[in-house]
Structure 1
Amino acid sequence: MENYIEDRKFEKETFATQPLLKAEYYNCTFTGCDFTNADLYNVVFLECVFITSNLSMARLTKTAFRDVKFRECKMLGLRFEDCSLFGFEVNFDRCILNHSSFHQIKIKGTAFTNCQLQEVDFTGTDLTNALFDQCDLKGAIFERTVLDKADFRTSFNFSINPESNRIKKAKFSLYGVTGLLDKYDIQIDR
């Protein structure tokens, strides 16, 4: 890649209409930026932080996120499986990721903190050691998902079938155990 941009702060820029330069961004911060429907094809983000930015419906074909943090971002309908998966490492804090997809990718150890993950597709995803702290997982799809040692103790509204997912040593609260029994259509009184 010809363009290399390092240690730059982008604030309140709109990349939905003015495309982001195809480059490798290292240690950059994007605050209040709008990437709605932006084409991020082949853009590389290394050790970058996105704060209060909107990335909804951005196209992520061959986009690289390596040690990238998202804080308070709106990220509706993203297809993370389209990203370059070499070195893929992301963490999310207070983000809205509804209707996004992590279909069949490895995101071991990823932290989702205070996130909305409604109707997110985790089919075939490796979430070993992932942390779901205070997350709303209503309608999230877990099918053939590896959840070994994942932590769901403070999250809610999830439905995970233990027979079609790997959940060895995963952590759940007593309250959340009902999300493991949904497939049986039984009534549990509290």
Structure 2
Amino acid sequence: MPSSNRDRAGRTARPQAPEIPSELTEADLPEHDLRDEGVYLALAFGGLDLTDRAVLAAEFEGCTFTHTRLTGSNLRGALLSDVDLKNADLAGVRVRDASLTRATVTGSRLTGSVWSSCTVRDTVFEGCRVDMASFGYSTFKDVVFRDCNLSEVDFQEADIRGVRFEGCNLERARFHHTRAEKARFADCELFGVTGVESLKGISVKTTDAQGLLLALANAMSIEIAD
């Protein structure tokens, strides 16, 4: 569970770090290529090219993905726990009915990725490109997005209650029919967001409020005149 302590910048601390084993086996192809119902334990995937794979119910535990390329892959029913993704390329990845638990995702690209009906828990996304990604019908628990580009992200029908957004660009993000109570936004760009009427019960810093108020006025057809 995340700590309530704050770092020196005044931001809340990250959720519990993944339990990565001290010694990992270096993954190699074709031995560790992705396959249906494959189980991958304590592997360091490194800079492997795993683009355009289509696998069902693969399981990853205690693995690291550093500069790994998963662009365009389809990972339906994947289970990822205690994993660390650093500078990984997940652009265009399609993930459905999957779970991501106790993970750190740092400096990675998730542009245009689709995470549908997934569960994300005890996870930090930091310094990532998540623009134009979709998390429709997914559930988030104890999750932080920090210093991420989330422009045009889609949280339609998602449950983001309690999620923390810190220093993120959320311009033109979509929150239609989103459950968002107790989600917190700090130092974020919120201009042009839609579905703002679903953001009842959130917490937002005063400095962020202008963009949100403009979006609310637009949703209610309120004309703001000089």
Over 3 Å counting, the alpha-carbon distance change for 1:162 and 1:73 in structure 2 is: closer
Query: What secondary structure does 1:186 align onto?
Result: coil
Structure 1: gaps spanning 5 or more residues: none
What secondary structure does 2:208 align onto? Answer: helix
Aligned residue among 107, 115, 126 for 1:93:
126
Query: Is 1:172 aligned with 2:187?
Result: no
| Paired residue secondary structure (1:108) | strand
2-structure distance, mates of 1:20, 1:122:
25
Pair 1:54 & 2:89 matched? yes
1:13 aligned to which of 48, 55, 63: 48
> Structure 2 CA distance, aligned partners of 1:26 and 1:118?
30
Distance 1:41 1:144, change over 3 A: closer
2:203 alignment partner AA: K
Counterpart in the other structure of 1:71: 106
TM-score w.r.t. the length of structure 1 is 0.83
- In the TM superposition, residue 22 of structure 1 has moved relative to its aligned partner by 6.5
Q: 63-72 or 123-132, which moves further after superposition? A: 63-72
Shift of the alpha carbon at 1:23?
3.5
Q: Count residues with an aligned counterpart.
A: 184
**Which whole-Å CA distance do the structure 2 matches of 1:13 and 1:70 have between them?**
17
**How far apart in 2 are the matches of 1:98 and 1:36?**
15
Question: Structure 1 residues 164 and 2 mapped into 2: Cα distance closer, same or farther (>3 Å)?
Answer: closer
Does the C-alpha gap of structure 1 residues 158 and 4 become closer, same or farther in structure 2, counting only changes over 3 Å?
same
| Larger strand proportion of the pair | 2
Residues 145-175 of structure 1 show CA distances to partners (whole Å, capped at 9, x for unaligned) of: 222222112111344579721422x222222
Please say if 1:186 is aligned against 2:224: yes
Match of 1:116 in 2: 149
Amino acid at match of 1:58: V
**Residue of structure 2 aligned with 1:142, choices 175, 185, 206:** 175
Q: Amino acid of the residue matched to residue 53 of structure 1?
A: A
CA contact (8 A) 1:29 1:48 kept: yes
Q: Is the contact between residue 161 and residue 181 of structure 1 (CA under 8 Å) also seen in structure 2?
A: no
Instruction: Give deviations 1:114-165, integer Å, cap 9, x for gaps.
Output: 0000101112222111111000001101222222222112111344579721
> CA, structure 1 residues 129+159, in 2 after alignment: closer, same or farther (shift >3 Å)?
farther
Q: Aligned runs of 1:31-50 on 2, under 5 Å? A: 31-50=66-85
Partner of 1:4: 39
1-side partners of 2:143 and 2:225: how far apart? Answer: 33
| Separation (CA, whole Å) in 2 of partners of 1:161 and 1:16 | 32
Provide the rounded CA distance (Å) in 2 between the counterparts of 1:161 and 1:2: 38
Asked if the contact 1:137–1:157 (Cα under 8 Å) also holds between the matched residues in 2, the reply is: yes
* Backbone CA RMSD of aligned residues: 2.6
Q: Could you say what secondary structure the match of 1:144 adopts?
A: coil
TM superposition shift of 1:99? 0.7
Calculate the TM-score normalised by the size of structure 2: 0.71
Report the alpha carbon displacement of residue 42 of structure 1 after superposing the two structures with TM: 3.3
Q: In structure 1, what is the equivalent of residue 9 of structure 2?
A: none
**Is the Cα–Cα contact under 8 Å of residues 72 and 94 in structure 2 kept in the other structure?**
yes
% same residue: 23
* Structure 2 counterpart SS, 1:11: coil
